[in-house]
Structure 1
Amino acid sequence: MEKSFSPLPFLLLYLLFCLSLFHIKFVSAFGTVDGSEQWGYVQVRPKAHMFWWLYRSPQRVENASTPWPTVLWLQGGPGGSGVGIGNFQEIGPLDTSLKPRNSTWLQKADLLFVDNPVGTGYSFVEDEKLLVKTDWEAATDLLTLLKKLYNKNGSLQKSPLFIVSESYGGKFAVTLGLLVVKAIKAGRLKLKLGGVVLGDSWISPEDFVFSWGPLLLDVSRLGINDANRSNSVAETIRQQLVEGQYFEATITCQTLQSQIVRDSHGVDFYNFLRDVGSYPISGMAVALSEKIDMKKSYSMYLSSNASSLDLGSLMNGVIKEKLKIIPKNISWGGQFNSVFNALMNENMKPRINEVDELLSLGVNVTIYNGQLDLICATKGTEAWVQKLKWEGLEYFTTSGRYALYCDNDGSTKGYIQSYQNLRFYWILGAGHFVPLDQPCMALKMLGDITQSPAASSSYMKT
């Protein structure tokens, strides 16, 4: 008897084959076997792919009276990689030698790193016309990512999210914060927002450029004539901003930075106690007669504080191999210059109004600044805070500061001032990258901000 043909086995094989293709093309997350790490891509727009990496804390406390927090880290630049810089050089579980970091922020929270905007780090666009051109476009992409990660994840929804930023990331943080609040209210995002944290953030470029001359004069890095020249260029920038010439203001700002480097004989914009040309890294010295490349200087400062292993080599080597899902034609940081240039018209726009709106909506806003930072100097931060229209500003300004300490020697490490939903931390001995320069103080500050169940006892001096 002739055996009849059954299409079932063939259909099953075909179905499995199709599913495998579906998995490869559209997979949203990979991770470690124990679930302590997850990572993946979210297509935030057609042909625009954002990479994320989530770490679960081994110190996570479940069922505590205060829920375990999650920190979303937003790097600066724009175009700096949170997955690379923030993770391996500042607050992640491993340093660039892949050795455990004693001061990792995982001790207080779960950590979510993203390469934002698209084109940064491992994130990429298939057409550079898709790079974001405004802070709001970047925030919209981030909101899309959060919807993908949170809306169907009950575990994440239980953990309050703190948007923590550094440098230009502060502009992304306040715009994202507003979009998150509105999306939650509209029922489009299942997430509890714990607060927005602005670390040495580029919120008001005008106030920062006017702080550079006086600050460097006070600390003897500029003479009186040099400081006057700096103030004169800052006035030009102010006029350009009044006239809406934001691209031109960005170019003038770069010119001013170059002028200050020349006049100061090499002051570093990320720590005014240091010289740019003093780092023992090949090719790092800046020719004082040429325009300083602030994009390059950003990575130089971090590299000088890290191990000898080059971050780019690490990210394009063993880390890329571990992750497995990075396309072969994508190199970490390969689109960095394009990301920076796409936002040139946005660079000098202030975001003070967005901070005001967050405060008026009752969102917890924390500001922290490193004492030795120049690019986002504390003097400039204090100036833009006084421009807030928030009704609590007068009470905040007149409230007292409390000293902070960290080590057993009892010496003062910083100060805090707060009123209602606004806090300001002054971190002594730190430059632009506070977690790198003062890791103990940064970690204790994080525990205070998030009210982490793992937070230590009080570290204030009354």
Structure 2
Amino acid sequence: MARQMETRALALLCLALLRGVSAISGGTDDGAERWGYVQVRPKAHLFWWYYRSPQRVSSPGKPWPTVLWLQGGPGSSGVGLGNFLEVGPLDGSLKPRNSTWLQKADLIFVDNPVGTGYSYVEDDALLVTTDGEAAADLATLLRELVTKELPTLQSSPLFLVAESYGGKYAATLGVSLARAVRAGELKLTLGGVALGDSWISPEDFALSYGPLLLQVSRLDSNGADNASKKAQVIRQHIAARQFKLAQYALSSMLTSIVANSGHVDVYNFLLDTGMDPVAVPAMTLPPAYSAYLGSKAAKASVGDSIRDIMNGAIKQKLKIIPKDVVWEEQSYTVYNALINDFMKPRIQEVDELLSYGVDVTVYNGQVTDIQNVIIDLIVQYLIEVTS
């Protein structure tokens, strides 16, 4: 029976592809999970996965919320990392997670942008090159989900929750959705936007990184001065809108910091690189910089494990993943396609969301030094624009 069902699913997939339909989906018999592809542009396919909370209780006065999780990178898989290694119902060993966010909300994970994780393009020329293009694809996905796949989204407040570079996606997508709702083009309630260790102000990060590491004794004064000088170069490039040069300058600054700090772990300044056995990059660092990170043996085992699961048991469960799509936790093809947008700030988008009355929350880990240096600046900014 299982083999017959699998054969039928594959046949339906082939038939759908031959007919050029815009979406194909699957799910569990009880409706607790749904997943699928949406063709957001011709030959560009976004993969999504929805979980309905077993605690779901909704009333007119208090509708049950839905969280759309947006992973960073750019090019890191939300369906794999955010789902199984962070907030989904199962952990990286496919065992129930007691702390899952599913206890408080329905969850949607998406491999965004196209080319990430299970999402794919039939031509690399179709990869997004700007945050705005990524937001447009996500908006197309949500329109499909609201009208066809998940009509409960029409009455469930949607919260965009992001980490790292995903914060840029959340800000741009949030603005796109808010505009569409205000124009009457989309029946959806945007409950709020949450930005975790968000990369929405790269300039502030660059200027603050050296001083923070000096304060926690991971850099001496010479190392901090060197970092600050390189940060000024980044600032100049951003001011001149030379964003690709700013990204190269960022790589140079980070490489220098790692060398002068004894290889500080950018996700936990209490540790050195390779000491944390469960760390998975929240924001992918430039390849040129990553070469200087030292031993990754401890992290590699985690990456290999989730990679095996996603290309094995999970791919078999979902049944609709094309055979030639190989899941990776990080797509450098996607990363490089966004190279010209990587250092662009998204503060104005946050300002616009606040002007619409959309709640914006900023959260961060206390020892994640790669981005927590800008949190106080962002909070102060939010206070100023709302006062």
Whether 1:101 aligns to 2:97 is yes
Instruction: Quote the residue 1:151 is aligned against.
Output: 147
SS at match of 1:310: helix
Instruction: Quote the residue 1:458 is aligned against.
Output: none
* Number of aligned positions between the proteins: 365
SS at match of 1:201: coil
Instruction: Quote the residue 1:386 is aligned against.
Output: 380
Instruction: Describe the superposition over 1:53-93 as per-residue Cα deviations: whole angstroms up to 9, x where unpaired.
Output: 00000111133631110000000000010000000000000
Alpha-carbon separation, structure 2, partners of 1:230 and 1:155? 50
Q: Describe how 1:371-382 pairs up with structure 2 within 5 A.
A: 371-377=366-372, 379-382=373-376
Which of 357, 361, 367 aligns to 1:366? It is 361
Alpha-carbon separation, structure 1, partners of 2:56 and 2:297? 32
Whether 1:276 aligns to 2:273 is yes
Which of 315, 325, 328 aligns to 2:320? It is 325
Instruction: Describe the superposition over 1:343-379 as per-residue Cα deviations: whole angstroms up to 9, x where unpaired.
Output: 11111111111111111110011111111111112x3
Instruction: Quote the residue 2:48 is aligned against.
Output: 52
User: Does structure 2 conserve the Cα–Cα contact (< 8 Å) formed by 1:222 and 1:263?
Assistant: yes
Letter in 2 for 1:149: L
User: Does structure 2 conserve the Cα–Cα contact (< 8 Å) formed by 1:37 and 1:53?
Assistant: yes
Which of 63, 69, 77 aligns to 1:67? It is 63
Alpha-carbon separation, structure 1, partners of 2:288 and 2:188? 44
With the length of structure 2 as denominator, give the TM-score of the two structures.
Answer: 0.88
Alpha-carbon separation, structure 2, partners of 1:60 and 1:301? 41
Instruction: Quote the residue 1:349 is aligned against.
Output: 344
Whether 1:126 aligns to 2:122 is yes
Alpha-carbon separation, structure 2, partners of 1:380 and 1:19? 46
Alpha-carbon separation, structure 1, partners of 2:50 and 2:343? 31
Judged with a 3 Å threshold, the aligned counterparts in structure 2 of structure 1 residues 22 and 370 are, in CA distance, closer, same or farther, namely closer
User: Does structure 2 conserve the Cα–Cα contact (< 8 Å) formed by 1:38 and 1:53?
Assistant: yes
SS at match of 2:175: helix
Instruction: Quote the residue 1:164 is aligned against.
Output: 161
Alpha-carbon separation, structure 2, partners of 1:313 and 1:19? 23
Q: Describe how 1:30-45 pairs up with structure 2 within 5 A.
A: 30-45=26-41
Judged with a 3 Å threshold, the aligned counterparts in structure 2 of structure 1 residues 252 and 45 are, in CA distance, closer, same or farther, namely same
Instruction: Describe the superposition over 1:79-134 as per-residue Cα deviations: whole angstroms up to 9, x where unpaired.
Output: 01000000000000001111110100000000000000000000000000100000
Instruction: Describe the superposition over 1:140-195 as per-residue Cα deviations: whole angstroms up to 9, x where unpaired.
Output: 00000000000244322111000000000000001000100111122221111100
Letter in 2 for 1:234: A
SS at match of 2:180: helix
User: How far off is 1:386 after superposition?
Assistant: 3.4
Which of 206, 209, 223 aligns to 1:212? It is 209
SS at match of 1:99: coil
Which of 82, 85, 89 aligns to 1:86? It is 82
SS at match of 1:94: coil
Judged with a 3 Å threshold, the aligned counterparts in structure 2 of structure 1 residues 384 and 302 are, in CA distance, closer, same or farther, namely farther
Which of 234, 237, 260 aligns to 1:237? It is 234
Letter in 2 for 1:318: A
Q: Is the deviation greater in 263-272 or in 38-47?
A: 263-272
SS at match of 1:278: coil
Instruction: Describe the superposition over 1:3-27 as per-residue Cα deviations: whole angstroms up to 9, x where unpaired.
Output: xxxxxxxxxxxxxx99993488645
User: How far off is 1:204 after superposition?
Assistant: 0.3
Letter in 2 for 1:372: V
SS at match of 1:194: strand
* Unmatched runs of 5 consecutive residues or more in structure 1: 1-16, 285-289, 394-462
Q: Which structure has more helix as a fraction of its residues?
A: 2
Instruction: Describe the superposition over 1:305-326 as per-residue Cα deviations: whole angstroms up to 9, x where unpaired.
Output: x968611111111100110000
With the length of structure 1 as denominator, give the TM-score of the two structures.
Answer: 0.74
* Unmatched runs of 5 consecutive residues or more in structure 2: 1-10, 282-286
Instruction: Quote the residue 2:133 is aligned against.
Output: 137
SS at match of 1:102: coil
Which of 295, 309, 315 aligns to 2:310? It is 315
Alpha-carbon separation, structure 1, partners of 2:106 and 2:28? 15
Computed over aligned residues only, the root mean square deviation of the Cα atoms, in angstroms, reads 2.6
